[in-house]
Structure 1
Amino acid sequence: MREKIEYLDSLRGIAALVVIIFHFAADFYPALLTANTADVHTTTFEALARQTPLNVVYNGSFAVCVFFVLSGYVLTYKYFQSKDNMIIISGAIRRYFRLLGPILTSILLAYLLLSLGMMYNQQAAFLTGSQWLHGFYQFNPSITEALRQAFYYTYLVDMSNSKIAYNAVLWTMNIEFRGSFLVFTLALFIGRLKNRYPLYLLALFFTLNTYYMGFVLGLILADIYNSDKKDSFKIKNRGVAVIILLMGLFLGGYIPGIPSNPIYNMMTFKILSNNMIVHYSVGASLLLLGLLNLKGLQEILSHHFLVFIGKLSFSLYVVHRIIITSYSSWLFIQLVTCMSYFLAFVLTFLSSMVVIFVLGYLMYCIVDVNSVKLSRLVYNNLFNPNGENCSFNESVQYTVGLLKKNTYSMITSLAELLSSK
């Protein structure tokens, strides 16, 4: 069983919150992303914020790269501690089943709401002027397509530009799934080699300008800080570690194509086909590098509340976009007619965060935890004859019980939705 590093879980939770804030900004205050004064709703600061490093606090694209770097680290650090190949093999076999539960549930929830006519993003986008909010759910629901996305497309097909995505944030799962197998392969085949670091650099070269370089950078840090000579790489000067962390955050605030920001212009290199991905991936790895060398910050991030958010991070991530396009959009439409735009947004945001956390918590308890258990059962019974003592019948019974739980939860949700409609 892989031990959790609590402060890394907390960092993942904070990154999930940044993504949520990013999507609220895109949907209700689009100037925070476009830097266009024509999109301003309350104050011109909306257009100015995107042009400064301050945008790192709501830069969802950078947060996604933090996810990828963390995955490269977390999926392989136990292997570099033990050099046990079964850790990699187990992780690879279980990966699909571990992701399946939350992804399937979120897509079915979106399908249900769309079928009931409870996606209000089109009407809300008319009021907010957000092209992002307007772009979702402009298609008729199809259970066949929903299941196809849940079981296959999300993992193996690039859905980033899909016009029929049931859960738009799941475009990252394709990269997450492929990136996971990339680091599993690198760790398994070159992780024991004495001269493996030049091969890591070669992997970075081939993944340059893609999100997969974040996984490779996370793998390299996992190797460096969990190998036999890990103490040799410790940054003993706390000031240096802080500077590295701040450099990571600064890179995370990079925005291309901002003529009024000379620093960002100097950071844009023609030799790179995608400066944003490179800067964000390097910035996320520097952020992690600084954190790995700052015990005080590790203790702060190990606070039980932050750890709790970290545990919910995947569930919060997969449900929040669905809530914004349904409940948040509906509530904003009701409120903006009787109060100022800003106050309507604040009330919508606060109320929506409560709904997102409640639903995320239920998703975690009912689906996410059981998906992890199910992935272990699948591995232990079908691929690991020397694993835990669990009969095939027990696996079947557990799976049936899990399906019953999820089905009951969906039926209850449906009944509540119908009664409130």
Structure 2
Amino acid sequence: MNKETSEKKLFYLDGIRGLAAFAVVIAHYIQVFYPAALNGRAEQAHFKWDIWYGHSPINLFYNGQFAVCLFFVLSGYVLSVKMFETELDNDTFQKLLHSSAIRRYIRLAVPAAVSVLLVYLAIITNAFHLQGIWGITWTDMKKDYYALDTNLYTVIKAAIFDPFFRFNGHPYNPVLWTMGYELLGSFLIFGFLAVFGRVKKRWIVYVVLSVAFIQTYFVAFLWGMLLADLLKHKWVQSKLAAILVLFMGIYLGSAPYTSLMGTMYEPIEVWTNHINQWIQFNIDSRMLARTLGSAMILFALLRIKVLQHVFGWKPFAYLGQISFSLYLIHFTFLNTFSAFLFSKMIHHYSYNLAYAITFLVSMVPLFILSHYYMKYIDQGALKLARTVEKKMMASASTSTPTIKQKNTSM
């Protein structure tokens, strides 16, 4: 694979990742300011179309769980594609696996930890204003940041340990619930590649693991890796098939948060119930639909050049570069700056106009902060990860001759 092809792939994959991150941002603003668009309750609606667009494919643009599933599928693909797309000798293959595994924790942990410290600073400076707008927005998100423990040991533990080993939510920065899946999902990929990456009949393993993980987010990583594995197969290159898969992916990925029964998404619920009865599982129909939809959309993107040009557009590619930073800090920013701004705007404008002003004005400082977070925290973590990797690999290479020498002397 030449450099030009590599850069093209990087750009359009960055683009779709960036749009997914922005969808999570929109999802949380919708959760706070237009809760009926998520929960379908008419008594919480601020706009007459809230419930309608919440039950339509439009919700794909603010469907947070779909966006997270897409993150996981992308991770599975990106972490494994180098192993499948070129013919590597066994030593190179193992070195790539080792280097990827060494870098992964630091790459995720440093930016995540700093995001928790920002929450701590916001608490001790009384910067959170979410409570002040609960009664106006009618949101279900009743998070009291000032009830959190500000003991420094607790905060440090929440910064470096909890995001990766606590799967029941994160008290300080709720978006960090995905970090544990990202880390363990990454090692699922590395483990699969190390054990089965060169096995010709690994399709059997894909099937077995898909059944084993079908009730969890880990299946998204597995299916992302499967997409990388299928990339060179000619029998999955049909453009017409890719277009059909794209539309099916949009349909599945936009499954709403409310009950699917009585909506255009009812067949998803019906078929999932049949599967649950057949294999005695308790599969979440919406999570399965969004995961499968994410995999289908990425499948189509990898085969439709027009989509690659669209998602490779420079603004989208830039959005992808800041996507991790945007994802990590937006929730805290929403509950501080945006909540404060809305509390002022609502006294002068109608609800919808106050929200529009709040959202548009908020995006400017949020993107500026995300840019510098990316530049200094995210990229700093990458540099640190590479430095640690080099030292560990160098240490391993220098220790090997010593062992051989001892064995020779014996």
Q: 1:26, 1:133 within 8 Å by CA — same for their partners in 2?
A: no
Partner of 1:183: 189
1:5 alignment partner AA? L
Aligned residues: 378
Distance in 1 separating the partners of 2:260 and 2:291: 23
Q: CA deviation at 1:261?
A: 2.8
Task: Point out where structure 1 has 5 or more consecutive residues left out of the alignment.
Answer: 388-421
Q: CA deviation at 1:188?
A: 1.2
Q: CA deviation at 1:133?
A: 4.8
2:82 alignment partner AA? K
After TM superposition, the structure 1 = structure 2 runs for residues 13-162 of structure 1, keeping only pairs within 5 Å, are 13-41=18-46, 43-82=47-86, 83=88, 84-134=93-143, 136=145, 138-160=147-169, 162=170
Q: 2:21, 2:67 within 8 Å by CA — same for their partners in 1?
A: yes
Q: CA deviation at 1:240?
A: 2.5
Correspondent of 1:296 among 306, 310, 323: 306
Q: In 2 relative to 1, CA 197–308 (structure 1 residues): closer, same or farther, beyond 3 Å?
A: same
After TM superposition, the structure 1 = structure 2 runs for residues 280-359 of structure 1, keeping only pairs within 5 Å, are 280-359=290-369
Secondary structure in 1 aligned to 2:227?
helix
Partner of 1:402: none
Q: What's the TM-score once normalised by structure 1's chain length?
A: 0.86
Partner of 1:412: none
Q: CA deviation at 1:276?
A: 1.6
Distance in 1 separating the partners of 2:220 and 2:292: 7
Q: CA deviation at 1:127?
A: 1.5
Q: CA deviation at 1:315?
A: 0.4
Distance in 2 separating the partners of 1:365 and 1:344: 32
Distance in 2 separating the partners of 1:259 and 1:245: 21
Distance in 1 separating the partners of 2:33 and 2:145: 14
Distance in 1 separating the partners of 2:331 and 2:209: 33
Distance in 2 separating the partners of 1:31 and 1:143: 38
Q: In 2 relative to 1, CA 136–233 (structure 1 residues): closer, same or farther, beyond 3 Å?
A: farther
Q: In 2 relative to 1, CA 174–248 (structure 1 residues): closer, same or farther, beyond 3 Å?
A: same
Secondary structure in 2 aligned to 1:193?
coil
Partner of 1:362: 372
2:129 alignment partner AA? Y
Listed one character per residue, the Cα deviations across residues 101-148 of structure 1 (whole Å, up to 9, x for unaligned) are: 211111111100111111111112222111215455532423222210
Bigger mean CA offset, 20-29 vs 46-55: 46-55
2:19 equivalent to 1:9 = no
Distance in 2 separating the partners of 1:209 and 1:339: 45
2:350 alignment partner AA? S
Q: 1:256, 1:265 within 8 Å by CA — same for their partners in 2?
A: no
Q: 1:51, 1:261 within 8 Å by CA — same for their partners in 2?
A: no
Distance in 1 separating the partners of 2:142 and 2:364: 20
Q: 1:75, 1:180 within 8 Å by CA — same for their partners in 2?
A: yes
Correspondent of 1:219 among 219, 225, 243: 225
Q: 1:6, 1:301 within 8 Å by CA — same for their partners in 2?
A: yes
Q: 2:60, 2:250 within 8 Å by CA — same for their partners in 1?
A: yes
2:190 equivalent to 1:204 = no
Distance in 2 separating the partners of 1:259 and 1:67: 24
Distance in 1 separating the partners of 2:146 and 2:57: 33
Distance in 2 separating the partners of 1:200 and 1:307: 31
Q: 2:128, 2:145 within 8 Å by CA — same for their partners in 1?
A: no
Q: 1:27, 1:128 within 8 Å by CA — same for their partners in 2?
A: yes
1:321 alignment partner AA? F
Q: CA deviation at 1:85?
A: 1.7
Identity over aligned residues, as a percent?
33
Distance in 1 separating the partners of 2:230 and 2:234: 9
Q: CA deviation at 1:260?
A: 5.9
Partner of 1:419: none
Listed one character per residue, the Cα deviations across residues 65-104 of structure 1 (whole Å, up to 9, x for unaligned) are: 0000000000111112344121121111111111122111
Q: What's the TM-score once normalised by structure 2's chain length?
A: 0.88
Bigger mean CA offset, 370-379 vs 80-89: 80-89
After TM superposition, the structure 1 = structure 2 runs for residues 222-301 of structure 1, keeping only pairs within 5 Å, are 222-225=228-231, 230-236=232-238, 238-255=239-256, 257-258=258-259, 261-268=262-269, 269-270=272-273, 271=276, 272-301=282-311
Listed one character per residue, the Cα deviations across residues 206-265 of structure 1 (whole Å, up to 9, x for unaligned) are: 10111110000001111111xxxx1424423x3321221111111011136536634322
Distance in 2 separating the partners of 1:158 and 1:141: 21
2:391 alignment partner AA? N
Q: In 2 relative to 1, CA 66–135 (structure 1 residues): closer, same or farther, beyond 3 Å?
A: farther
1:217 alignment partner AA? W
Q: 1:256, 1:275 within 8 Å by CA — same for their partners in 2?
A: no
Greater relative contact order (Cα < 8 A, sep 6+):
2
Secondary structure in 1 aligned to 2:200?
coil
Distance in 2 separating the partners of 1:307 and 1:267: 33
